[in-house]
Structure 1
Amino acid sequence: MPNVEETYDIAVVGAGHAGCEAALAAARMGFNTIIFTVSVDSIALMPCNPNVGGSSKGHLVRELDALGGEMGKNIDKTFIQSKMLNTSKGPAVHSLRAQADKRAYSQSMRENLENTPNLHIRQAEVSELIVENHELKGVKTFSGAVYHCRAAVLCTGTYLRARCIFGDCSNPTGPNGLQAAVHLTASLNANGIVTRRFKTGTPARIDGRTIDYSKMTPQPGDRTVTPFSFSTDPASVQKEQVNCYLTYTNEETHRIIRENIGRSPLYSGVIKATGPRYCPSIEDKVMKFPEHNRHQVFIEPEGSYTHEMYIDGMSSSMPEDVQYAMYRTIPGLEHAKIVRNAYAIEYDCISANQLKLSLEFKRISGLFAGGQFNGSSGYEEAAAQGFIAGVNAARKLQKKEPIILDRSQAYIGVLIDDLVTKDNLEPYRMMTSRAEYRLLLRQDNADLRLCAIGHEIGLVSDEHYQMVEEEKKEIREEIYRLSRVKVGANSRISDFLIRHGSRPLGTGESLAGLIRRPELSYEAIAEIDPDRPELSPAVIEQININIKYEGYIRREERQILQFRKMESRRLGSDIDYTKISSLRIEAAQKLNQFKPESVGQASRIAGVSPADISVLLVFLEQRHYPFDRVDQKTEP
């Protein structure tokens, strides 16, 4: 019997957070799309902590939403607790985080996929790429079925040749005991794609009925919930929330871990893959930070449908008996019953320096990649990459230039640039400290920064785009008005300032000048500003931030102009850097390896010095290489 043969425009391999965003973007852009998964029950699965957002990750989700992605909308429908983090600090690091109902999140995303025109879900393991003359022609499944396509996006997550490990137990499965994808790696290697092994881990799940919450500190959600999606009605997310809880490890916990450290696969040599630096296992925390006599442990629900509780902060690959022993030393977990053991998982992935900034492979035209397959960690990082990869696969078929966000435009730009440009020897995690221009790249203004790009792509409606443009106009006009309206040093103003704990005026001042004072705000000066217009809370928030941080914002805008000048100096893919005299051997080798697309990107490659960049600039001037015009304006 002949094999099945079907034809699609775009194939997406993997239906995790990256695959879902890639497939939805491609289908919504009008392309006939198929998404493959080893199990339809694993669509948008949250095998680790079922939460979305957090420090810097919340920025990614809101940027994704502003561009037309789905994750923000989906978590708004399925969260059971929501909290804005870092509110005691400046707005640059405020980050939204929501605990999801694990099953509801997956079901809701699956429903989105099933009801999206142009999108077909297929449960099958993709085992082979069909490539001719370095151009993708299709994919083949393990059953032998052939799916012809003009572009494909690889979003295999942690499933490629996956192995789950705790103690002496090693199972060739994907996360949560799901089927691993064991055949595709050989095809990748045969097509010149170099793979490597990374590792991540997850804690045990505990039966919540065996937990004594009275010994723990409740961690409630926010009284007023801020939605992730800019299109979500804030009133719709004001609902009763569940509590999370905080407890701590102690010296007894650490003693048990130290005495059994030789039985840990991480330390016995059973696990050879590289794990994430910024999400270490509890045994790593204890062994590498012996000066700490306790570590935080957050007890967080898996969902409203179950008693399972996630033990955040205690990922481990210790043997089963050691897991029981160490959990039961923790206040509130003395009688804990384990539902699912903690485990580590090894999997195949790639170094993303094999990709262009568009997330297309340099060696294979039409083949894109996103998510943990690219060497990153986290649902949010995965979703952002999957979206960009799916969009650019569609734009390639549209014969349009790819969407490439630079480091001055978005956290997504920082994420992809770091992955593609740097030697990431461990799973990459997004952090606010990685973004050079984080005061401008705030989570609260993601729609103002990126909605126009989402509209250009075709994934943001005309109505929403016009609403955002109107908000921009209102912000500009009101800031201008506030800078022009003056108040005098009279008794009424002095009384107002004294009542608000502020110093009286010695001379006239603008309303904007008053708002700059730490103790005052746009809302506070309402009683001395009778002509103020009716504005939304979102617009008022932007007015406060832009006025209070004006000096810092202007400084970052000047830095961005310099950054964009370097990014505008393009480098051709045909340059042989070994032929450029005065360029150091190491720099020439690294530049030939990475083939950067601009001088700016070249400057971020390890092993390329400022002196090498100077040589490159001279070379470009001599060869009259073109450079893009730098737009002198930046968004407020």
Structure 2
Amino acid sequence: MSFQDHYEVIVVGGGHAGTEAALASARQGVKTLLLTQNIETLGQMSCNQAIGGIGKGPLVKEIDALGGIMAKAADLGGIQFRTLNSSKGPAVRATRAQADRVRYKAAIRKALESQENLHLFQQPVDDLVVENDRVVGVVTQAGLRFSAKAVVLTVGTFLGGLIHIGLQNNQGGRAGDPASIALSQRLRALPFRVDRLKTGTPPRIDINSIDFSQLKEQPGDFPTPVFSFLGKPEHHPRQISCYITHTNEKTHDVIRNNLDRSPMYSGEIEGIGPRYCPSIEDKVVRFADRTSHQIFLEPEGLECGEVYPNGISTSLPFDVQYEIVRSMKGLENAHITRPGYAIEYDFFDPRDLHPWLETKHMSGLFFAGQINGTTGYEEAGAQGLIAGLNAGLQARGKEQWYPRRDEAYMGVLIDDLITSGTREPYRMFTSRAEYRLMLREDNADIRLTPIGRRLGIVDDERWTAFNIKQDAVAIENKRLDEYKFVPEKVDQTIA
């Protein structure tokens, strides 16, 4: 059955890539449909509830400069803000926000539901409609056929997703959500190069079972930073602290004694995991000389009773996870509310993409996010915005656009992927950007907002605020230019 409405762009997936893609397409005036397995999980933070950080903060600022939603949602949902590397130069400083999961997700959904030209529909996608080597639509699990001029796939870890807890595994896109098996098989039948990657998440802990009196408090920064160029500190909800504990020799002994029950070390997991965000069992094996690892206990929300123990991602059996958690200071009586797990999923070689993220083998089909081998909300959001922008431009008959390496961290991200590909989940770092002295958080709007305005994705509110700021800078520069100092007058002033 064909759906009665024709869309110009269809976005499949409602995560960080999908939401940015759908909004970027719709902001151009392009009739856009966002298809998701579950409308209730739009913008969900599947793993850590943090936005930004080293190498990632600049991506969030660039998404914001081009009219995206991530920074605004972080301001509305952020319950702890910090500027990392604050003692160093501005090129390597980075904003990081610890978010309230519920507030962040609510901000994303509100933006989606209030965006003109954007429709939402809840149905898994099982197939692509291909005509003459061009994708012209999708077919859902219920047999509904939606047609469009361009399709953006942002399916995260759902393609052939396999969840591992110990030596047990089951199909899933994330805990509680089904994997996209039919779509995975359909894509594997097309001329794409495909492989497997792996990521993971830690167990969650009941906040009432933690003895915070034994732990080191980590408050946020004051004055409180903001993420969006349109943001203000008063947009933030109440700010709270995180806490720090550590693994110890007992923790490490528990892990070493149970490596034979680890799916990663027993050969059950084939996919390669993120080198820069390893599981706790991987840390213990790779850094055998270390007697301790720092663990950040991060509340998941203001009204939420769960805590995210950042640093102990694991796929070990639940009974081992229980021992690991209770071996640490302050967690001796901790109650685990959800087990940690690893997830394997399909990704497609990003060298098969054009720099505007359209596939080379199939016109009208765009990939963004973890399907391209990246990890992280920020990397996904950046790709989603570029893919959605270009799908919309293509639907409008306009020339495609993508940022260069000297224009944006987004440009570094995309160029790295399409040129070199990746064999492990790709994460952005400042060290990847050779132009990092120019690609700072504080000038992302100067670099990108005029381009976004020309392309039709920067609205009047943002454009007005940008021009007011630029006028103020021009006035101040003129005032400074009018000051002249000669040595004699300076000496007299000092005297």
Shorter chain as normaliser: what TM range?
over 0.9
Distance in 2 (CA, whole Å) between partners of 1:67 and 1:276 is: 28
**Deviation at 1:104?**
1.8
Aligned to 2:378: 380
The 5-angstrom pairing of residues 80-91 of structure 1 reads 80-91=79-90
**Deviation at 1:233?**
3.1
The 5-angstrom pairing of residues 533-572 of structure 1 reads none
3-state SS in 2 of match to 1:317: coil
Aligned to 2:286: 288
Aligned to 2:390: 392
Aligned to 1:494: 494
Return the letter of the residue paired with 1:139: V
Aligned to 1:368: 366
Distance in 2 (CA, whole Å) between partners of 1:311 and 1:236 is: 27
The runs of 4+ residues in structure 1 deviating greater than 6 Å are none
Aligned to 2:64: 65
Distance in 1 (CA, whole Å) between partners of 2:330 and 2:356 is: 48
Deviations 1:135-170 (A, max 9, x none): 111111122111111101000001111111111221
Distance in 2 (CA, whole Å) between partners of 1:163 and 1:492 is: 76
Aligned to 2:32: 33
Distance in 2 (CA, whole Å) between partners of 1:217 and 1:200 is: 28
Aligned to 2:433: 435
**Using a 3 Å threshold, how does the CA distance of structure 1 residues 463 and 326 change in structure 2: closer, same or farther?**
closer
Aligned to 1:572: none
Number of aligned residue pairs: give it: 493
**Deviation at 1:107?**
2.1
Deviations 1:521-578 (A, max 9, x none): xxxxxxxxxxxxxxxxxxxxxxxxxxxxxxxxxxxxxxxxxxxxxxxxxxxxxxxxxx
Say if 2:183 is the partner of 1:184: yes
Worse-matched range after superposition: 425-434 or 182-191:
182-191
Distance in 2 (CA, whole Å) between partners of 1:367 and 1:141 is: 16
Aligned to 1:135: 134
Which is helix-richer, 1 or 2? 1
Contact conserved, 1:487 with 1:493, CA < 8 A, in 2? no
Distance in 2 (CA, whole Å) between partners of 1:42 and 1:163 is: 19
**Deviation at 1:469?**
4.1
Distance in 2 (CA, whole Å) between partners of 1:55 and 1:212 is: 30
**Deviation at 1:479?**
4.5
Return the letter of the residue paired with 2:438: L
Return the letter of the residue paired with 2:247: T
**Deviation at 1:236?**
3.3
Aligned to 1:445: 443
Aligned to 2:410: 412
Aligned to 1:147: 146
Distance in 1 (CA, whole Å) between partners of 2:479 and 2:239 is: 41
Distance in 1 (CA, whole Å) between partners of 2:147 and 2:422 is: 33
Say if 2:258 is the partner of 1:260: yes
Contact conserved, 1:4 with 1:144, CA < 8 A, in 2? no
3-state SS in 2 of match to 1:266: coil
**Using a 3 Å threshold, how does the CA distance of structure 1 residues 310 and 492 change in structure 2: closer, same or farther?**
farther
Q: TM-score, normalised by structure 1?
A: 0.75
Worse-matched range after superposition: 473-482 or 211-220:
473-482
Unaligned 5+ segments in structure 1 are 496-636
Return the letter of the residue paired with 1:494: I
**Deviation at 1:494?**
3.2
Deviations 1:352-407 (A, max 9, x none): 11100000011111111111111100001001100100000000112211121011
**Deviation at 1:189?**
2.2
Distance in 2 (CA, whole Å) between partners of 1:390 and 1:463 is: 21
Aligned to 1:172: 171
Aligned to 1:111: 110
Say if 2:455 is the partner of 1:457: yes
Aligned-residue CA RMSD in angstroms?
Answer: 1.7
Contact conserved, 1:204 with 1:342, CA < 8 A, in 2? yes
3-state SS in 2 of match to 1:200: strand
The 5-angstrom pairing of residues 343-362 of structure 1 reads 343-362=341-360
Say if 2:200 is the partner of 1:206: no
3-state SS in 2 of match to 1:403: coil
Return the letter of the residue paired with 2:311: G
Contact conserved, 1:160 with 1:348, CA < 8 A, in 2? yes
Same amino acid, percent of matched pairs? 47
Contact conserved, 1:101 with 1:303, CA < 8 A, in 2? yes
**Deviation at 1:470?**
5.0
Aligned to 1:121: 120
Aligned to 1:321: 319
Which structure is richer in relative contact order (CA contacts within 8 A, separation 6 or more)? 2
Return the letter of the residue paired with 1:223: F
Unaligned 5+ segments in structure 2 are none
**Using a 3 Å threshold, how does the CA distance of structure 1 residues 113 and 462 change in structure 2: closer, same or farther?**
closer
The 5-angstrom pairing of residues 225-244 of structure 1 reads 225-237=224-236, 240-244=238-242
Aligned to 1:245: 243
Aligned to 1:162: 161
3-state SS in 1 of match to 2:277: coil
Return the letter of the residue paired with 2:452: G
Deviations 1:186-216 (A, max 9, x none): 2212231232211100011000111111111
Distance in 1 (CA, whole Å) between partners of 2:295 and 2:407 is: 35
Return the letter of the residue paired with 1:365: S
